[in-house]
Amino acid sequence: MKNEEHFRKLERMYLNANVNTMLFDTTTCRISDEEAEIGLRISEKYFHALGAIHGSVYFKLLDDAAFFAVNSIVRDVFVLTTSFNINILRPASEGLITARGKVKFKSRTMFVAESILYNEAGKEIAFGTGNFAKSSVRLSEEIGYQ
């Protein structure tokens, strides 16, 4: 299988996952070698009481971008997040936000990736770093890899 085909299958798997079709409506996903970009149009349904997106949304986008950056180079199995730390720099309450993830370290079984979340004006609003490991779950149609 060519890299581009692997990337497109990962993108379809991401976009068709229940969490993205049922809870996060306007998600975009672009995957390339050791990189991934996840976008979300902000909606009031993601707001906390102060009228900005909840930290869980920051976490989800940062983790997803780093995760798929890693899975771009793991072609046989689904990877798992083993730890992820985020830092929120500023609130966001409108527009499109985009997380960009990159692989920073790779070994046979362990990976480290970082991601940065930007607002529509291109300002950094959060960043995170995570550790990822290979699972025993094969990339297959049963999990949406098609």
Show the domain range for 103: 3-141
Q: Give the chain's domain count.
A: 1
What is the CB neighbour count within 10 angstroms for residue 122?
A: 7
- pTM for the model stands at 0.96
* CATH code: domain of residue 78: 3.10.129.10
Residue 146 lies in a domain: no
| 27-39 confidence digits (pLDDT tens) | 899 999 999 999 9
Q: What angle is formed at CA 83 by the lines to CA 110 and CA 129, rounded to 5 degrees?
A: 85
Residue 41 lies in a domain: yes
Residue 129 lies in a domain: yes
Residue 32 lies in a domain: yes
Residue 34 lies in a domain: yes
Q: What is the secondary structure of 72-106 as a DSSP string?
A: TT--SEEEEEEEEEEEE-S---SSEEEEEEEEEEE
| 59-93 confidence digits (pLDDT tens) | 999 999 999 999 999 999 999 999 999 999 999 99
Using pLDDT thresholds of 50, 70 and 90, give the confidence band for residue 109.
confident
C-alpha span between 12 and 28 (Å, rounded): 10
